[in-house]
Chains A and B, each alone.
Chain A
Amino acid sequence: MDLTGLLALAVTGLVRGGLYALMALGLALVFGVMNIAHFAHGEIYAIGAYAAYFAYAVFGFSPILAIVAAGITSFVAGMLIEKGLFYPLRKGSKGDWLMNSFLVTVGLSFVLKNGAQAIWGAQFRGISQYWEDSIRILPGVSLAYDRAIAFVISIAAIVIFWLILRRTEFGRAMRAVSQNETGALLVGIDLDRIQSITFALSSMLAGLAGAAMLSILPAYPSMGMTPNNKSWFVVMLVGLGNVGGSIVGGFMVGILETVTYYFLGGGWQDVVSLSVLILILLFKPSGLFGTTEVKGRLER
């Protein structure tokens, strides 16, 4: 395999990895801070994709504006979902609802999927491309602008989010809530507000991913299944709730899948990925970077 081929592989792997990292980050965040096993993450990705489609193809927004609009729409959707679904459940129950939280999110996924089908029908809503042309990185290695911009968006979102988490008081509060809720209350943190904003941020990240990928993966009601599975795969691989790890894991999985695709063909992607997951969990059930506790923590 020559240098050009290797480079092409690396580029594709990184681009894919960036999107996986973005998605996994949102999922790890929800598990880490809210302790909710979120199985509707793919449907939030779908909300972003649909929003971008309507913004770009129907309302004529520019590509960047469409993606931003999708991000905002997902943020708001996440806020509404948290306030309408998780908040009342949290307040109304005695505390054991968390055990069933994943069922709640599965139900949410059903509602969103079928709602989308009821409103917009089952047909694909796709676009051919946001931007024309490709970047020529090297002779023989070119990257479509759409994919390049998607990558830049992923990295920018991840970096900004990381800075918020580590450098701002709000990020510190999020980490505090994930590590000790009683402690967070005692220092004056409003748990409900943190939970809402956390879910809204996670949704925004998923929505941005969906929007950025619209030209590659068109919007249709059940599109969320694959992004959801991939996100869960990454999060389980690195250890639930480990935010930093989920970013690294996203890239690892992206590169692994790309390499598998190149050498073994598309059909083997999932087989290899899942085999790796099974092997790793057999020997280290808490995940690659996990500690022995299963409860999520926003760790370093």
Chain B
Amino acid sequence: MLEVRDIEARYGHLQVLWGISLHVAQGEFVTLVGPNGAGKTTTLRTIAGLIKPMAGEVEFMGKPIGGLPANRISQMGLSFVTEDLDLFEQMSVRENLLLGAYGIRDKDKLASSMDFVLDLFPRLAERQKQLAGTLSGGERKMLALARGLVSDPKVLLVDEPSLGLAPLLVESVFEALQALHQKGVTILLVEQNVGTALQMTERSYVLEQGRIVLQGAGAELLQDEHVKSAYLGI
């Protein structure tokens, strides 16, 4: 579904990614973990088209997308939920969701997608007319996720959804992601909460200083010495 080969990316003169390769097969739930500043967000931004890779290839469903603008990639079925959420603050919850479905012409499909995300996040259903800027932190995250989902994407990229959330909310966010995984959505998650991420997902990549240093099944990585000392404090 998603294939990334040796991508390199930079901000101005600062090179951040030094040859990242990863893949996500259809229906998989894969995580990308690592310390702050490692390049996790940069990797997602490059895949989503917000940054052009300097080298390497990105393939989505077999088609090369490296260098394509972000809106084209989004329309191809890749949704990216950013760390900043990038909500439309002065618009209502409902309008944000309608925009998530921008470009969907099929009215029935739109209606059923809206129903689906509103079922998944009942708090949002209650606040449909409320302005996004007035929602609480947890509700904003839910709205960002819902907006990413309402287009029924083939791949969902999520950047650190648990940041800044109370533990109870973190649980519900992860539960929502699990539910989506059960439903068959393909997910690539960047997460700081390494322990939980490794437990939750099938496969993980560990990114440090712009390079993939480890990869494998979550359970294996949890036993790895480096992971244990660097990320789990064991």
Contacts and interface: CB of A to CB of B under 8 A. Distances in A.
Interface of A: 169, 172-173, 175-176, 179-180, 182-191, 297-300
Contacts of A175: 88, 90-91
Nearest to A166: B95
A189 B71 contact: yes
B151 A188 contact: yes
A187 B87 contact: no
B91 A179 contact: yes
B86 A183 contact: yes
A180 B99 CA distance: 12
B48 interface: yes
Contact of A180 (B79, B87, B100, B102): B87
Contacts of B49: 185
Contact of B79 (A169, A186, A297, A298): A186
Contacts of B90: 175, 179, 297-300
Contacts of A173: 99, 102
A173 B102 CA distance: 8
Interface string B145-163: 0011001000000000000
> Which of A183, A186, A191 has the most chain B CB atoms closer than 10 A to its own CB?
A186
Nearest to B12: A94
Interface of B: 48-50, 69-72, 74-75, 79-80, 82, 84, 86-91, 95, 98-100, 102-103, 147-148, 151
Contacts of A180: 86-89
A176 B98 CA distance: 11
A160 B147 CA distance: 29
A176 B71 contact: no
* 7 A-B pairs closest in CB distance: A183-B86, A188-B74, A185-B70, A188-B75, A179-B88, A187-B102, A182-B86
A298 B72 CA distance: 25
Given A172-B98, A172-B99, A190 B71 contact: yes
A172 B100 CA distance: 11
A161 B147 CA distance: 27
Contacts of B72: 188
B95 A186 contact: no
Contact of B82 (A179, A182, A190): A182
> Which of B49, B90, B148, B151 has the most chain A CB atoms closer than 10 A to its own CB?
B90
A186 B88 contact: no
Given A173-B102, A180-B86, A186 B91 contact: no
Nearest to A94: B12
Contacts of A182: 50, 82, 84, 86
A183 B151 CA distance: 14
A187 B69 contact: no
A185 B68 CA distance: 12
Given A183-B86, A188-B72, 15 more contacts: A169-B98, A172-B99, A173-B102, A176-B88, A180-B89, A183-B99, A185-B71, A186-B86, A187-B99, A187-B100, A187-B147, A187-B151, A188-B102, A189-B99, A298-B90
